[in-house]
A and B are shown apart, each in its own frame.
Chain A
Amino acid sequence: MLDRMITHSAFLELVDELAGKRRIIGPVARGERFFYEEVERAGALDLAFNYCVYGPRAFLFPPTETLFTFQQIEGRFAAEAVVEDRPTALVGVHPCDINAIRLLDRVFEKDHPDEHYLSRRRNTLIIGLDCPRPCTDGIFCSDMKTNEATEGFDVMLFPLGAVQEVGASGKGGGGDPQAGPSVRADEPPAAPSQYGVVFGTPTGREWLLYSHKSTVPTAADERALEQYHRSKAAAFRRAIKTPSEDLPALLDRSYDSLLWEATARRCYSCGSCNLSCPTCYCFNIYDELDMTLAAGERKREWDGCQLPKFAEVAGPHNFRAKAASRLRHRIYRKAKWVREQTDLPGCVGCARCDRACTAKISSVEIYNQLAEEA
């Protein structure tokens, strides 16, 4: 069910108005690829993007941030928290990344709420943009059931105009499920002419409705949405032979597989998979002193379980000294453990890990090879 309809140009006007109140982050073309960047005007956004090289994680959980500053005064210390609350809007977030943000929300809220993340999150408006078809080759979001988002956004846009255009030009995403996505990977879809809008939160509803730029959906719009969902369902193909709900059981049978070590021979342990992953949230904490040595900052930075020293304790002893055990750890986290801990998917199938891997280690391939062994 649609809440409203809005044209592409009216939407951009709305975002321009929003730019007066919030920092606007959205997809921007840099060469042939798209990245989430801060923009001054909505016109700088490219909402016809296929995918962004990295998810918008960095705007909620930055690569490096100060947790608190401290000063030593006469043998005692005084500390002051650094908590950011800058109003922000993430515009054009695909369902995979919205699902990833839901996981980060859950992790940082859980047990000991982490204000550094939660304050940024509370002050961030998320405007989702649904994907009518696969954004590129190699993704497996439909396997993870994360190519749709049911919550985690304030407003979700369905590019209904785009679907009609794509269908009309015969570029794929059409009714024939056997045809599959015939669009060339990496080719950006046509710019949508209008969006069907679904509200996710009262904040989203309030924002979209205050300006009267949107219209009430008609019966034809609702039919267009149904058609959109049908053609979307046909466009996304499964890549992993095992249904995601059966992956934990598959992994349970595969702990001692030789595949971990065989695959890890190619692994550089460079951590690119972790660092490009929208659901990775592990971090390191360290201190930085200024030259007086009496004041400084305690900071945190992105860390990754594939990095060689991640599980090393003073002594030293490394609980996962081998690349094979680290690789197994990552795959278990993504397909089994994170879900067990949070009830949310630990992997959103965006395949950024696979694309980032210069050794061409593919998680899809790992799951399928394990399925063959089992």
Chain B
Amino acid sequence: MERVIELVRKEFRQLRRDPNMLRFMLVVPVIQLILFGYAVSTDIKHLRVVVCDMDRTAASRDLVRALGSSEHFDVVAHVDRPRDLDGWLDRGHAAVALSIPPGMARKLDQGQRASVQALLDGSDANTGTVAIAYLSRFFMAQSESLADGNAPDRPGIRVETRVWYNPTLASAVFMVPGAMCVIIGLAATIATALAIVKEREIGTIEQLIVTPISSWELMLGKTLPYLGVGMANATAILLANALLFHVPLRGSLALLMAVTALFLVCSLAIGLLISTLSRTQQQAMLTAFFFLMPNFLLSGFMFPIENMPQAFQWATTILPLRYFLVIVRGIFLKGVGLPDIVGQLLPLSALTVAIMTLAVTRFAKRLD
């Protein structure tokens, strides 16, 4: 253990002298989170709305005026025929197309439920999601104000939304926890791989393996510092979220950190494995990207796994990030506890053990 401590101390001394590496490990992740976070900002105002009012009554005009005066929507145009709405969405000149059918006011007067249709541009998933939320909130408020009057049993107005271009909208709040998972995994894997390959590339590994240090001590000593840095990294990201994005952490912080530590160990093991496959730092970077790209695309971070072809869905089962994402989103957004995440924790642990074993077997304390 003494040798491990000495290696850890050495590693931190070197990190301190390499401000670029420290920046890469601590500052860049926060910047990445901010980029991810703001790119999917939940704070959407002035959505452009195009309206086709076929009812042409005082009630329908009031409805449109109320919509336009809310801070979330701007009514930018009126069209006469419903099919003209399509062009506005197609060209991206409006994000929402509202169609008010003839007879809305009459139905409301007769105490029947009236429906309006909203078409949404879903190509920007977040905007789409937020627009749906705002629209349903708006129409709920409208219905309530109608009900306020002399007829409390009026069913009000219902909005039927249809999303174009991207029918299954990914939720915006999913982005920040997801980004956190991707970022800490990426940083830990690359930092570990580089730390080991760097010693091989500049030749310092030769002096190290001619000592009686064991493979285990060498591996622990080279990975533990990055477990520490990774945890600091996760903390920084959580702080950034608390300060900037306010995605609420509904579950246990301790549980979140514990699972994060497990995922970090898994990421370090991947880094270790990469280091056994690369002779130079450049090779290590390329190999790392080869490992990490599928993680980005297939883990469910960007695209829902359920939408992928069956073969890809099977392939995702070997991605540690896939399980970690579900766990973190669960703890973060649904406030789930340990019993709820066992189904994800088991495969994640199994993968960690498997990757670690593979890395350790490949990591020989020898030059050839």
A-B interaction:
no
Which residues of A are at the interface with B, using a C-beta cutoff of 8 A? none
Which residues of B are at the interface with A, using a C-beta cutoff of 8 A? none
